[in-house]
Amino acid sequence: MEQKKTKVLFVCLGNICRSPTAHGVFRQLVEDRGLSHLIETDSAGTGAYHVGEPPDHRATMEAARRGYDLSDLRARQAVATDFGYYDYVIAMDVQNLGGLRSICPADYPGYLGMMTDFTDRYEGDVPDPYFGGAAGFTHVLDMLEDACSALLDQIVVRGVSG
Ligand code: 4NP
């Protein structure tokens, strides 16, 4: 019998900086642990400004420096039907979380929360790096490597299904 996959959706505003970075980091961690057949990863934005675009080149470069390939990713907007598919819908900041709550069905049985919920090392928002310099992208990657690893640990402890 085929085991049910655990499905994880990372969400930021534009889906070109933070959530595609989380997407690329998390799917690499999943692959490294040999769990790609059990855990599915995606990302989206609450806004539609960049739909169809690849990740911001600064995010792509920073990720590549640490061995994560974001080149196949393209931005899309989060939609209400995502809650019928994903077991975890994870917002990068409180603004994104508010946008997601406004489209989330009241009876959603999965986990809707913040990226930093899973780690003790960081709390609150993964800060938006879009209007800042390179250091912002490095900090985002530091946070996301830590939080994605903690999230994966939690999913594995729970038995890999949603
Ligand atoms: P992201 O960053 O939400 O991490 O993808 C942003 C990307 C674009 C914009 C804002 C944030 N923007 O205003 O276009």
Is residue 52 assigned to a domain?
yes
* 99 Cβ below 6 A of ligand 1: no
pLDDT tens digits for range 122-162: 999 999 999 999 999 999 999 999 999 999 999 999 886 54
Per-residue pLDDT, 144: 98
What CATH number corresponds to the domain at position 145?
A: 3.40.50.2300
3-state secondary structure 12-56: ECCCCCHHHHHHHHHHHHHHHCCCCCCEEEEEEECCCCCCCCCCC
Where in the sequence numbering do the catalytic residues fall? 12, 18, 128
Number of domains the chain contains: 1
Is residue 48 assigned to a domain?
yes
Is residue 1 assigned to a domain?
no
Q: What does the angle CA 78 – CA 60 – CA 98 come to, to the nearest 5 degrees?
A: 25
pLDDT tens digits for range 86-110: 999 999 999 999 999 999 999 999 9
| For ligand 1, atom 9: residue with the closest CA | 14
Q: Tokens in use for 79? A: 């939609």
Is residue 112 assigned to a domain?
yes
Domain span holding position 73: 6-157
Alpha-carbon span 71 to 123, nearest angstrom:
29
